[in-house]
Amino acid sequence: MKLVVVTPRGSKVDTAVQMVTVPGDVGELGILPGHRPLITSLAIGMLSYNEGGRVKQLATNEGFMEVHDDNVVVVTESAEEPDEIDAERAKKSLEAAEAALKDIDPHHDPVAWKQTQEKRLRALNRIAVARFATPEALKIAKAREAASAAG
């Protein structure tokens, strides 16, 4: 089966896969070859796929997925591979969102509350996916952290 992941910045993934798991609005959806045609909305979460016996992950934002004739097309606002994620930045974003949520009354300002809650979910998702970064990427991130802490 073929997986294509598209963002406003272009195609992120275009490959043959054995399985895809996506973050649906009502929970995770697993797609195997021969799946019935489907169109669904996607939530912020981790998209994973099995390519050549190796599982890969993407941190994705909201979007849509279409399954038809062993083609899975995901259209999402963003899709980041683990090595592309700055985990420290994501942690700071999470802290900022959680602090802001304490000061927002969801009944008084539901739009601000929803936007901040989504910011929190994106940060949590990026942190979760960053755990799958390669050892080389983790070394680079640690060196970056040490350099910023030093000056």
Q: Is the pLDDT of residue 148 over 90?
A: no
pTM, two decimals, is 0.85
Q: How confident is the model at residue 151 (pLDDT cuts 50, 70, 90)?
A: low
- The pLDDT of residue 24 is 94
Mean pLDDT calculated for residue range 120-131: 95
- The pLDDT of residue 129 is 95
- The pLDDT of residue 94 is 95
Mean pLDDT calculated for residue range 123-145: 81
What is the per-residue pLDDT across 56-109, written as a single tens digit (0 to 9) for each?
A: 999 999 999 999 999 999 999 999 999 999 989 999 999 999 999 999 999 999
* Mean pLDDT of all residues belonging to the chain: 92
Residue 107 backbone phi and psi in degrees, to 5: -80, -30
